[in-house]
Structure 1
Amino acid sequence: MSIETLFPEITPGNAAELERFGDILKQVWPLKAKHREQLKYDIRDMSRSLTNERAERRPDYMGEARFLSPYLCYFLPWNLYRMSRLFGGMELDIPEDGEITDLGSGPLTAVIALWMSRPHLRGRRLNFTCLDRVPKAMQAGLALFNALAGDTPWRIRTAKAAFSDRIQRKADLIIAANALNELDWSGRTARPQAEKLARHLIGACKDTGRVLLIETGVRLTGRIIAEMRGQFLAQGFKPIAPCPHAGECPMPATGQGAPWCHFNLSVKGAPRWLELLSSEARLEKTGVSLNFLYLSRKGGKDFGAVRLISEPFPLHGGLGQYACSDQGLTLVDYGPKQRPLLPGQGMIPQWPATPRKDLKSGALLLPFKPAIKEK
């Protein structure tokens, strides 16, 4: 039986805010005609620097003019779309006068996406502390937020700080979005770094505080998230989502070809102006991906649920879909004409008495039973 989905479609209100953001960009970050003509090339150059040429990129690259404009006009809006899809399906009931710390904030991406996607929070007094090594990016983001939100009870404080610098106020929610991948995770530094970071973030949380890590859904970030998850568990924090259990991660992205936990999402509801800009830059998108981890001391419900992770693929004359469960790596086996669930959906399984294993992946095979009712 299906119990939930982590990534509901963009609401009409959220879609309207993403569409309006194109006009806000023109107002807050206007480009001269020659710079607007150059923008598509700058976007392509920056895309290469964020992927194939990562090693050549300076740590504080966001402060450079050649990077900031393409980031604000292209990468920021796509990240707002990603996070809107995520925030729309999460439990994020931050209390009045709540404290939110945004680490590696950049142009306040998480703050803007939270305002766009969770309208029930817009009237609450919330205090945001945004920390980043590049003040110029945060200043641009703050100008964009103010133009978007207008008169708001949200209070935003920005400060130049490294990821590991001391956090002054205990937080109800700590967000680190697209920030962990900026650190060096090579060789033997990964585990000690994850242990130190987990201790740092846990120490900055209130007793009821939560931590949300978000990345863009590539194998490297899958490994980072899995490493951080292990250290959080060792220090007393438990997953709320996406993990349906607090056991060992069956998708830790170790080894070539090994599965890693990430979600591919459609771009339905993305703003038209952003799709046109993507086409100009020859970086059209048919989907976006992300991986994330949401934790607290209490954790989420642990009642044997299964979380669908991958997109469906051909299997045994029907379809299959990789999933995560407290039994380990799971392969949901759909019969002919059965409609698969979406990545991110959860289900209550009906396990066979003696589950078989998939010979290729070693995953436990779980025959799919159609949902009785939806929540």
Structure 2
Amino acid sequence: MSIDSLFPNITAENEAELERFGEILKHIWPLKAKHREQLKYDIRDMSRSLTNERSERRLDYMGDARFLSPYLCYFLPWNLYRMSRLFSGMELDIPEDGEIVDLGSGPLTAVIALWMSRPHLRSRRLTFTCMDRVPKAMQAGLQLFNAVAGDTPWRVKTVKAAFTDRILRKADLIVAANAFNELDWSGRTARPQAEKLARHMTGACKDTGRILLVETGVRLTGRIIAEMRGQFMAHGFKPIAPCPHAVECPMPATGKNAPWCHFNFSVKGAPKWLELLSSEARLDKTGVSINFLYLSRKGAKDFGAVRLISEPFSLHGGNGQYACSDKGLTLVDYGPKHRPLFPGQAIIPEWPATPGTDLKSGALVLPYKPAIQEK
């Protein structure tokens, strides 16, 4: 039986906001004809710099005009789409007069996505403190947010700061989205760095505060999030999602072939103008990926759920899907009769008395048994 589902399809209202964002971009960040013609090449070059050529990129690259335009016109809206899908499927409620801190905020991606995807929060008095090393990117984002939200009770402050600079007021929610991948996680630096970040963030939260990390679903960020998860738990925080448990992570991305926790989903509802721009840059998308971690001191209620992680694949004449459970890495075996579920869904399992073990992955095998007969 499915008990919840992350990454629901974009609502009609959210889809309209993402579509409208294209016109807002043209107004707030206009490009001359020659720069618009060059944009597809700049996007392609920046895509390479964010993946294969990471080591050659300056830490404050977003302050460079060559990078800011392609980021705002392409990477920002795709991240708004990803985060809209994430935010709309999360248990995410911020109280009146709530304090939100956005670390490494760049062009305020998380703030804009939150406004687009959670309309019930738009009427609340919320204060956002956005912290980043590059004021230029934040100022561009603030202009975009003001154009998107119009007259709003949300108060947004931008502060030039590094990740661990002092946070003055205790937060109801601390977000670090597409941020920690900018740091060096190689060698022996990873664990001390994760411990420092976790200590800083947990110390800046209210007793009821929450922490949200979001990244773009590659192996490196899977390893970062797994490392951060361990450190957050050492500082008294427990996962709310996606983890269905508070024991050791079975997908830590610690080896070349080790699994890592990430989710792929379709681009249904993505704005047409963004799909056209992606095609011009020869970066067409049929799906996007994301990984994230959402925590609080209380964590989620532990009732033995299993979270589907991977996309379905062929297995013994039927379908299988890797999942996470408090028993470790899990392989859900649907057999030939049942339709696979979507990545991100959670189910209440019926474990056999002696579960089998998958020889390839070492995962425990869970035969799928729907609570309600499928038609």
TM-score by length of 2: 0.99
Mapping 1:136-175, distance limit 5 Å: 136-175=136-175
Q: Secondary structure at the residue paired with 2:354?
A: coil
Query: Unmatched 5+ residue regions in structure 2?
Result: none
Corresponding residue of 2:316: 316
Q: How far 1:372 moved relative to its partner?
A: 2.4
The residue correspondences of 1:99-110 to structure 2 (distance < 5 A) are: 99-110=99-110
| SS of aligned partner of 2:320 | strand
1:252-283 CA distances to partner (integer Å, 9 max, x unpaired)? 00111110000001000000000000000000
**Aligned equivalents of 1:203, 1:373: Cα separation in 2:** 48
**For 1:254, what is the secondary structure of its paired residue?**
coil
| Aligned-pair CA distance for 1:164 | 1.0
Q: Superposed, which structure 2 residues align to 1:231-242 within 5 Å?
A: 231-242=231-242
Counterpart-to-counterpart distance in 1, 2:144 and 2:106: 12
Q: Which residue of 2 aligns with 1:365?
A: 365
| Mapped partners of 1:363, 1:37: distance in 2 | 50
- CA gap of 1:136–1:167, structure 2 versus 1, over 3 A, is same
Name the count of aligned residue pairs: 374
- C-alpha displacement at 1:309, in angstroms? 0.1
Alpha-carbon offset, residue 312 of structure 1: 0.2
Q: Which residue of 2 aligns with 1:83?
A: 83
Distance, in Å, in 1 between the alignment partners of 2:32 and 2:256 is 46
Correspondences of 1:106-125 after superposition (within 5 Å): 106-125=106-125
For 1:27, the aligned partner's letter is H
Q: Distance in 1 between matches of 2:178 and 2:54?
A: 14
Q: Is the 8 A contact 1:100 1:129 kept in 2?
A: yes
8 Å CA contact 1:103, 1:131 repeated in 2: yes
Residue 100 of structure 2 aligns to a residue whose secondary structure is: strand
In structure 2, distance between residues paired with 1:233 and 1:163: 19
Taking the TM superposition and a 5 Å limit, the aligned residue runs for 1:1-375 are 1-372=1-372
Q: Following TM superposition, by how much is the alpha carbon of 1:185 offset from its aligned partner in structure 2, in angstroms?
A: 0.5
Q: CA deviation at 1:373?
A: 8.9
Counterparts of 2:122 and 2:105, CA distance in 1: 19
Superposed CA RMSD: 0.9
Q: 1:235 Cα shift?
A: 1.3
Report the Cα distance in structure 2 between the residues aligned to 1:127 and 1:276, rounded to whole angstroms: 35
Q: Distance in 1 between matches of 2:130 and 2:196?
A: 20
Deviation at 1:209, TM superposition (A): 0.2
Deviations 1:165-190 (A, max 9, x none): 11111000000000010011010010
- Distance in 1, Cα, partners of 2:228 & 2:165: 18
Cα distance between partner residues in 1 of 2:121 and 2:295:
20
Q: Which amino acid aligns with 1:2?
A: S
* SS of residue matched to 2:300: coil
One-letter identity of the residue aligned with 2:107: P
Q: Secondary structure at the match of 1:36?
A: helix
Shift of 1:337: 3.1
Question: Is this contact kept in 2: 1:2–1:373, CA < 8 A?
Answer: no
Counterpart code for 1:181: N
State the AA in 2 paired with 1:255: G
* Helix, strand or coil at the partner of 2:176: strand
For 2:70, give the aligned amino acid.
P
SS of 1:319's equivalent in the other structure is strand
User: Following superposition, which runs of at least 4 residues in structure 1 exceed 3 angstroms of deviation?
Assistant: none
Q: Distance in 1 between matches of 2:276 and 2:331?
A: 38
Give the Cα–Cα distance (whole angstroms) in 1 for the partners of residues 305 and 370 of structure 2: 15
Cα distance in 1 for residues equivalent to 2:42 and 2:353:
57
Aligned partner of 2:234: which letter?
A: A
Q: Distance between the aligned counterparts of 1:301 and 1:257, measured in 2?
A: 31
3-state SS of the aligned residue for 1:96? coil
| Local SS of the residue matching 2:366 | strand
SS in structure 2 at match of 1:42: helix
Query: In the TM superposition, what is the alpha-carbon distance from 1:286 to its structure 2 partner?
Result: 0.5
Could you state the TM-score of these two structures normalised by the residue count of structure 1? 0.99
Contact 1:264 1:290 in 2 (8 A): yes
Distance in 1 (alpha carbons) for counterparts of 2:301 and 2:107: 34
User: Which amino acid in structure 1 is aligned with residue 11 of structure 2?
Assistant: T
- What amino acid sits opposite 1:102 in the alignment? D
Between the two proteins, what is the percent identity of the paired residues?
A: 86
1:53: how far off? 0.5
Matched residues in 2 for 1:90 and 1:204: separation?
22
Q: CA deviation at 1:149?
A: 0.5
Q: Distance in 1 between matches of 2:127 and 2:256?
A: 43
| C-alpha distance after superposition, 1:80-103 (max 9, x if no partner) | 000000000011110000000000
Query: 1:321: how far off?
Result: 0.2
SS in 1 for 2:214: strand
Separation of aligned partners in 2, 1:371 and 1:134: 51
